[in-house]
Amino acid sequence: MHVNAVIVAAGRGIRVGGEAPKVLMPVSGRPLILHTLERFGKSAEVGKAVLVVPAEEMDAYEKLLRTSPPAGLAIAVHPGGARRQDSVRAGLDALDSDCAVVVVHDGARPFSAPELIDRCAREARENRSVTAAVPARNTIKTVRQGQVEETLPRNRLWEIQTPQAFPVRTLRAAYEKAQRDGVDATDDAMLVEQLGVPVWVVEGSTTNLKVTYPEDLPFAEVLVAQGLV
């Protein structure tokens, strides 16, 4: 059963600062996105990745991949859209015609272990929709206008990550429903949930960080320097 990945890197990443897109910022001397693609190149399940990037940056990404191609992975660079949701939809349109399972991943998560990618893909082969996640470590409260409303039961709370993996037909159906209903989601699992399809958790790792804020970059450097990823 053929597996493709959609790796989303079409955002500007303004919260992390700097003029370049955050996935082109260096981590341990190499652009962050190369760390991400390298992990997928080591996956035993994923043979091809659709890398979705800003349309105006396509030449820069294609040049980077010509000069530093990740081993073990065919990559197609594809233009994204205004929202993450639009970019994933564009990536779905670029999958191989015989692709049955799709793994969706944030380009700004450079340290997803190949074993985690493969566990997610294998679950999706069994017609299950899955997301990587880790148990919440902090107490979570809902707040309205600065006042605590409720303390949520931490033993039921998980922090959602990527990769997320789905049968292609399921994720396409979720996107078609979202378009009809005008739904704007923060991740793909949410759209699948709204189909009424169960989404299962594959336990991820606290080192599977998403680089979002300026302090995340030096933390990523430490993880590499200490051999933790």
> Using 50, 70 and 90 to split pLDDT, how confident is the model at 12?
low
- Which residue(s) pair with 130 in the sheet? 165, 200
Q: If you average pLDDT over residues 71-87, what whole number do you get?
A: 95
20: pLDDT strictly greater than 80 = no
Percent of the chain surpassing pLDDT 90: 94
- For residue range 192-210, list pLDDT tens digits in order: 999 999 999 999 999 999 9
Alpha-carbon distance of 192 to 172, in angstroms, equals: 9
Percent of the chain surpassing pLDDT 70: 96
57: pLDDT strictly greater than 80 = yes
Report the pLDDT value the prediction gives residue 84, as an integer from 0 to 100. Answer: 94
89-90-92 Cα angle (round to 5): 65
Burial of 47 (0-12, 13-18, 19+ CB in 10 A): middle
Alpha-carbon distance of 42 to 19, in angstroms, equals: 30
Q: If you average pLDDT over residues 76-87, what whole number do you get?
A: 95
36: pLDDT strictly greater than 90 = yes
Report the pLDDT value the prediction gives residue 21, as an integer from 0 to 100. Answer: 82
Report the pLDDT value the prediction gives residue 11, as an integer from 0 to 100. Answer: 73
**Could you tell me if 210 and 106 are in contact, meaning their C-beta atoms sit under 8 angstroms apart?**
yes
- Mutual orientation of helices 32-41 and 58-67 as an angle, nearest 10°? 60
Q: If you average pLDDT over residues 89-118, what whole number do you get?
A: 97
User: What is the DSSP-derived secondary structure letter of residue 119?
Assistant: H
- Which residue(s) pair with 203 in the sheet? 133
Alpha-carbon distance of 166 to 137, in angstroms, equals: 27
- For residue range 152-208, list pLDDT tens digits in order: 999 999 999 999 999 999 999 999 999 999 999 999 999 999 999 999 999 999 999
Burial string for 143-156 (b: 16+ CB within 10 Å, else e) reads eeeeeeeeeeeeee
16: pLDDT strictly greater than 70 = no
One-letter amino acid for residue 135 of the chain = P
End-to-end Cα, the chain, rounded Å? 29
**Could you tell me if 43 and 118 are in contact, meaning their C-beta atoms sit under 8 angstroms apart?**
yes
> Using 50, 70 and 90 to split pLDDT, how confident is the model at 85?
very high
Report in angstroms the alpha-carbon separations of 14 from 11, 84, 110, 223.
Answer: 8, 14, 18, 23
Q: If you average pLDDT over residues 202-228, what whole number do you get?
A: 95
Helices (H), 4-43: 32-41
Enumerate domains of the chain plus CATH numbers.
2-225 (3.90.550.10)
